[in-house]
């Protein structure tokens, strides 16, 4: 017997036909004594439709976050009612439960709630009665009993957290790809599906641009030690298992994958006098404006004149805010120039195996050199290594690095 939480996103349940095929598949794969909990999102574009309805009342509906949650939580409630009917139509008992009904308690940060606790007695009761339990993802309730949504990626997070609270054997996240790949398959045709990856590697991959899993849900899996199986809605093939460690075979790879992020802006502040406190001035001002800074490099430019340059990267999304801040700060610091370069690319390799393998960095730089790609900034973490390159060279760069570490079999 296994207790398995299975999460299906909005595109997997976008129509009643799709719901019926999800239900069929689940029943085909289910062993007689398996206990199944389904976590589902709102159907297809429902959430967007509800938001545009709210805009008919007020152009900025998120000014009323409590009411937005009251509105948006109906989306998953529709899904769970229909999916539960689908199971019953196919002859298996099932019951739908909203987020509040599974005891998912949140704080009161409407539209971006955090999970405080889950007390899923009702889920156990319904499972023990032989039901498949269909749970609304993305939602819970606060101490007042008001519905609260968990914000972006919330369905994954609530699935993994519910799996943890239930003591489930695993949590399966169904998605439109077959798992996590060693590089983006749209760019690297030879990218391989990663069989196993650790929570920290997956978090690092996500942070560095690999979009499959939401970081919060991976953290949740690590906290509760629940293996997360990322797999395809459309095939029955095994996907990627995210867990604390991996099997011997998988350890032979020194890196897990190549991630890249094209949503990067490089900002260079040139010709500032190199005195203590300049770094603090720049990055404190940016932090106060809520701009997340990623890579930072300070270089000595001119020892005689005692001036230096400061180079760093931010997300393209923060460009406007960062520009404003830097205009003020550059004047204060008497900088000679601020250079801004949008849409540069950060390429990273990730893998816990890098730690005891000193040659890894050299191999990455070598691959880029051979491909004729110039490196602008380098930064490292315990289990990753990132290089900033000019925009427009992603394909060559990512393929060169991937070929180096995952030679064609």
Contact set with a copy of itself (CB under 8 A): 15-17, 19-20, 50, 53-54, 56-58, 61, 63-64, 66-68, 70-71, 73-74, 77-78, 80-82, 84-86, 88-89, 95-96, 98, 101, 122, 144-146
When the beta carbons of 54 and 241 are compared against a copy of itself, the nearer one is 54
- Residue 117 Cβ vs a copy of itself, minimum distance, rounded to whole Å: 17
When the beta carbons of 151 and 271 are compared against a copy of itself, the nearer one is 151
- Residue 52 Cβ vs a copy of itself, minimum distance, rounded to whole Å: 10
- Residue 292 Cβ vs a copy of itself, minimum distance, rounded to whole Å: 31
Edge-to-edge strand ranges of the sheet holding 293-302: 293-302, 307-315, 257-273, 337-350, 384-389, 377-381
- Residue 162 Cβ vs a copy of itself, minimum distance, rounded to whole Å: 17
When the beta carbons of 145 and 407 are compared against a copy of itself, the nearer one is 145
Sequence-distant (≥ 6) Cβ neighbours of residue 336 within 8 angstroms: 270, 271, 272, 307
Distances in Å between the Cα of 396 and the Cα atoms of 141, 189, 337 are 48, 12, 32
When the beta carbons of 75 and 154 are compared against a copy of itself, the nearer one is 75
When the beta carbons of 54 and 188 are compared against a copy of itself, the nearer one is 54
Residues in the chain: 409
- Residue 127 Cβ vs a copy of itself, minimum distance, rounded to whole Å: 15
Q: Let me know if 57 is exposed, middle or buried by CB neighbors in 10 A (0-12, 13-18, 19+).
A: exposed
When the beta carbons of 21 and 379 are compared against a copy of itself, the nearer one is 21
322, 286 Cβ separation under 8 angstroms: yes
Task: Provide the 8-state DSSP code for 384.
Answer: E
Helices (H), 252-371: 278-288, 319-332, 360-370
Sequence-distant (≥ 6) Cβ neighbours of residue 198 within 8 angstroms: 242, 243, 244, 245, 246, 352
Place of tokens 């990055």: 283
Closest CA to 39 of 171, 131, 219, 180: 171
When the beta carbons of 57 and 116 are compared against a copy of itself, the nearer one is 57
Q: Which residues pair with 300 in a beta bridge?
A: 308
- Residue 77 Cβ vs a copy of itself, minimum distance, rounded to whole Å: 5
- Residue 101 Cβ vs a copy of itself, minimum distance, rounded to whole Å: 6
């Amino acid at each position: 017997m296994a207790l398995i939480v299975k999460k299906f996103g909005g595109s997997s349940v976008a129509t009643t036909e799709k719901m019926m095929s999800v239900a069929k598949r689940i029943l085909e794969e289910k062993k007689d004594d398996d206990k199944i909990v389904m976590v589902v999102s709102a159907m297809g574009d429902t959430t967007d439709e509800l938001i545009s309805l709210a805009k008919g009342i007020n152009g900025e509906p998120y000014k009323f976050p409590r009411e937005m949650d009251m509105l948006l939580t109906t989306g998953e409630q529709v899904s769970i009612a229909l999916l539960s009917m689908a199971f019953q139509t196919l002859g298996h008992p099932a019951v739908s439960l909203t987020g509040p009904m599974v005891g998912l308690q949140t704080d009161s940060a409407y539209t971006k709630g955090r999970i405080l606790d889950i007390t899923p007695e009702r889920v156990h009761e319904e499972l023990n009665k032989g039901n498949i339990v269909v749970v609304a993802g993305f939602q819970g309730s606060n101490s007042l009993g008001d519905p609260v949504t968990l914000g972006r990626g919330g369905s994954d997070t609530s699935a993994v957290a519910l799996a943890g609270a239930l003591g489930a054997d695993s949590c399966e996240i169904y998605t439109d790809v077959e798992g996590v790949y060693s590089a983006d398959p749209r760019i690297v045709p030879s990218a391989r599906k990663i069989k196993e990856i650790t929570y920290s590697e997956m978090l690092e991959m996500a942070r560095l641009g690999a979009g499959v899993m939401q970081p919060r849900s991976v953290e949740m899996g690590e906290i509760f030690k629940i293996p997360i199986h990322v797999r395809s809605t459309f095939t029955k093939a095994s996907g990627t298992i995210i867990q604390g460690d991996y099997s011997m075979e998988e350890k032979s790879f020194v890196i897990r994958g190549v991630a890249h992020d094209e949503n990067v802006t490089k900002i260079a502040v040139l010709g500032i006098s190199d005195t203590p406190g300049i770094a603090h001035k720049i990055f404190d001002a940016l932090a106060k404006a809520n701009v997340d800074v990623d890579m930072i490099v300070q270089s000595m430019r001119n020892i005689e004149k005692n001036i230096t340059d400061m180079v760093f990267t931010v997300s393209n999304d923060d460009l406007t805010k960062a520009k404003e801040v830097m205009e003020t700060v550059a004047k204060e610091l008497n900088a000679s120039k601020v250079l801004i370069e949008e849409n540069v690319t950060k390429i990273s390799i990730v893998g816990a195996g890098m730690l005891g393998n000193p040659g890894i960095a050299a191999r990455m730089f070598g691959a880029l050199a051979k491909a004729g790609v110039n490196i602008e900034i380098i930064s490292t973490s315990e289990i990753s290594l990132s290089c900033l390159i000019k925009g427009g060279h992603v394909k060559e760069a990512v393929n060169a690095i991937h070929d180096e570490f995952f030679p064609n079999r």
